[in-house]
Chains A and B, each alone.
Chain A
Amino acid sequence: MKRDLLLFIAFALLIMVAPHFFHGGYLMNVLVFVGINTMLAIALNLLLGYAGQISLGHAGFFGLGAYISGVLTTTYALNPWSAMPLAALVVGCLAYLIGFPILKLKGHYLAMATLGLGIIIYIVFNETVDLTGGPSGLSGIPNLEVAGVVFDSDVKNYYLIWGVTLAVMLFSLNLANSRIGRALRAVHDSEVAAQVLGVNSRVLKVQIFALSAVISSLAGSLYAHTMTFVSPASFGFNFSIEVLTMVVIGGLGSIYGSFLGAALLTLLPEFLRGANDYDIIIYGALLMIMVMFMPGGLVRGIPALYRKIFKQKGEGDNA
């Protein structure tokens, strides 16, 4: 569709010119995290918002990508450009194998199983000290390099991360608007009806789980190569919940919503820094208010609010 493509191009241009308004500085570093978190939120949204399958262990896949990339490029002195796809491949295969038994579970049971998976991965990072450096982390991970240009500054990293994030967005938008995207949403709404129409829901769920893990792993690898240091604390249960919150606050089943959710939840703590000890209370209260008044997420809530303010007649929501 023409309109979808134009929207994406406009969005990409906005992202590309954004650094010129900030002139580097600390905010650039935060915007790099917005990019990484957008990738993670999209990955989880494909699984949760489209296929309707929950995961509370995505920080684990994110961490695996970061650690596999990190270990391969430090201990084994592999080139980062070879380490990243290798990490993605390993994580994808792992998710595929785990996906078959785990995705037979539904609802709360699937939540528990993925929660357990995330915790196991977290424990492995902490306990395999010889390989990962344990709780004190893994340092000295090399930056990425393209034709002599080393991605070692916030501005360069911004373009690197957002280049990949935009590619992941386009990839996911295409997928969402295809027969596979429709089949996923069909499984979400009525699995039995989807099956009757010939959708192999079991295989499809596992495929999207693996794809979601691969995108998370890619985000993890990029995180490792931009931060040059990783430690288990970044990949715990809390972070899985944070990504889940981004997806829900942004809007389930919307790729742009994942960006909005990731942007809000990454930027909000920075803006609330001035509130000193009260920041976490304000943060929590804002999340509660948003879920109460924008149950469809920011991506549907903001246009609705806009229409309300300007008293225009609503024409239905554009997700």
Chain B
Amino acid sequence: MLEVSGITQIFGGVTALDSVSFSIAKGDITGVIGPNGAGKTTLFNIITGIYHQTAGTVTLEGKDVTGLPPERLARLAMVRTFQNIELFGGMTVLENVMVGMHTKSSSGLLACALKMPWTVSEERRIRDGALKWLEFTGIADLADHTAGSLPFGKGRLLEIARALAVGPRIVLMDEPAAGLNSQETLALAGLIKRIRDLDITVVLVEHDMELVMDICDRIVVLNLGKKLAEGTPRQIQESPEVIAAYLGDDD
């Protein structure tokens, strides 16, 4: 599904990522974990076209997508969410998700301004599609609220609903459980599993180990910009290198 190979990122004199390679299988939930500063978010920013890496390639469904801008990746069915949720605060919850349908609609600027007949039916389709994803994430009752006024947990669900509206085959989530209480985290775990059941591959950067161990099929561990380990949750829990990285060495 997604393959990164030899990703290296140098900021000034600091090597944030050093030749990181791994591949993600279709239909899996994959967790990317590691201590703070391991390069997880940098890696996400590179995969999703926000940063341009110093070296290395990203391959999506067999296609080289290295250096493509985010809007092109959206059309190739890859979408992401942000650690500090990036909502369109001045718009309603429903409108936020309707923006997610952007690539699923095509009316141009003039057609919209002249309200051509086909734009009216397209608008209805966008609205219905957006409502469907609000129901999927369980926030349909908030449809007319201003997104900027949502509590953090609901905002997180909205960001996920908006990402799903793009119709992705792969979703990358940057710390989806950050800032959520334990109940919300539990609901999130259920939601992520339901997303996987839609045949959508999920990759997540996460610090909440309980969540990662519970829902992930595979885990990639980064430390100091290098890949430390890769495997099933059980393998990772038993890996001496990972334990050393997290708890510190005795030497």
A19: CB under 8 A from chain B? no
Given A179-B102, A199-B99, A201-B71, A211-B89 contact (CB < 8 Å): no
A150 CB–B CB distance under 8 Å? no
B79 is an interface residue with CB less than 8 A from chain A: yes
Are the C-beta atoms of B71 and A199 separated by less than 8 Å?
Answer: yes
Interface centre among A178, A183, A190 (most CB of B within 10 A): A178
Most chain B CB within a 10 A radius of its CB, from A194, A196, A211, A316: A196
Q: Flag if A197 contacts B123 (CB, 8 Å).
A: no
Given A174-B115, A194-B99, A189:B91 Cβ within 8 A: yes
CA distance A50 to B73 in the complex (A): 25
Contacts of B156 in A (CB 8 A): none
A305 close to B (CB within 8 Å): no
Total A-B residue contacts, Cβ distance less than 8 Å: 105
By beta carbon, the residue of chain A nearest B96 is A186
Q: CB-CB < 8 A to A190: which residues of B? A: 86-88
Check if B126 is an interface residue, CB within 8 A of chain A.
yes
Give the residues from 164 to 191 in chain B that come closer than 8 angstroms, CB to CB, to chain A: 165-166
- CB within 8 Å of A: which B70-102 residues: 70-71, 73-75, 79-80, 82, 86-91, 95-96, 98-102
Quick one: given A178-B107, A198-B74, are A185 and B90 in contact (CB under 8 Å)? yes
Could you tell me if B70 and A196 are in contact, using CB atoms closer than 8 angstroms?
Answer: yes
Shortest CB–CB separation between residue B27 and chain A, in angstroms?
22
Tell me the bound Cα distance from A188 to B96 in angstroms. Answer: 13
A186-B99, A189-B91 known; A181 vs B112 contact (CB < 8 Å) = yes
Known: A183-B99, A197-B102, A198-B102. A172 touches B113 (CB 8 A): yes
Option from B82, B114, B146 in Cβ contact (under 8 Å) with A193: B82
Q: How far is the CB of B149 from chain A (nearest CB, A)?
A: 10
Asked, given contacts A186-B99, A195-B71, A197-B163, whether A180 binds B112 with beta carbons under 8 Å apart, the answer is: yes
- How far is B110's CA from A208's CA once the two chains are assembled, in angstroms? 11
Q: Are B80 and A196 neighbours in the complex by a CB distance under 8 Å? A: yes
Q: Which of B50, B79, B90 has the most CB of A within 10 A?
A: B90
Does the CB pair A197–B109 fall under 8 Å?
no
Contacts of B74 in A (CB 8 A): 195-198
Say yes or no: A197 contacts B113, CB within 8 Å. no
Alpha-carbon distance between A163 and B71 when the two chains are bound, in angstroms: 39
The answer to the question of A200 belonging to the interface, with a C-beta cut-off of 8 Å to chain B, is yes
Interface string of A192-219 (1 = CB under 8 A from B): 1111111111000001100100000000
For residue A271, CB closer than 8 A to chain B, the reply is no
Determine how close the nearest CB of chain B comes to the CB of A182; give it in whole angstroms: 5
Please provide the chain A residues from 245 to 263 with a CB less than 8 Å away from any CB of chain B in the complex.
Answer: 253
Nearest neighbor of A208 in chain B, beta-carbon distance:
B109
Report whether B103 and A189 are in contact in the complex, using a CB–CB cutoff of 8 Å.
no
**Cβ contacts under 8 Å, B146 to chain A:** 316
B50 and A192 contact, CB distance less than 8 A: yes
**CB neighbours of A179 from chain B (8 A):** 98-99, 101-102, 105, 107, 112, 122-123, 126
Interface flags, A304-316, vs B, CB<8A=1, else 0: 0000000000001
Contact call B107/A195, Cβ cutoff below 8 A: no
- Return chain B residues, CB-CB under 8 Å to A186: 88, 91, 96, 99
| Distance of B163 from chain A, by nearest CB (Å) | 7
Tell me which residues across on chain A come within 8 A of B166, comparing CB atoms: 197-198
Contact, CB under 8 Å: A182 / B87? no
Query: Measuring CB to CB, which residues of chain A are less than 8 angstroms from any residue of chain B?
Result: 171-172, 174-175, 178-183, 185-186, 188-190, 192-201, 207-208, 211, 253, 316
> Which 9 pairs, one residue from A and one from B, show the smallest C-beta to C-beta distance?
A198-B74, A178-B112, A198-B103, A193-B86, A189-B88, A175-B113, A195-B70, A190-B86, A174-B115
A-B contact pairs, 5 of them (CB 8 A): A182-B99, A183-B99, A198-B74, A198-B166, A199-B99
Instruction: Known pairs A188-B88, A196-B80, A198-B74; list 12 more (Cβ under 8 Å).
Output: A174-B112, A178-B119, A179-B101, A192-B50, A195-B71, A196-B70, A197-B79, A197-B100, A197-B102, A198-B166, A199-B71, A207-B109
- Residues of B participating in the A interface, judged by any CB pair closer than 8 Å: 48, 50, 69-71, 73-75, 79-80, 82, 86-91, 95-96, 98-103, 105, 107-109, 112-115, 119, 122-123, 126, 146, 162-163, 165-166
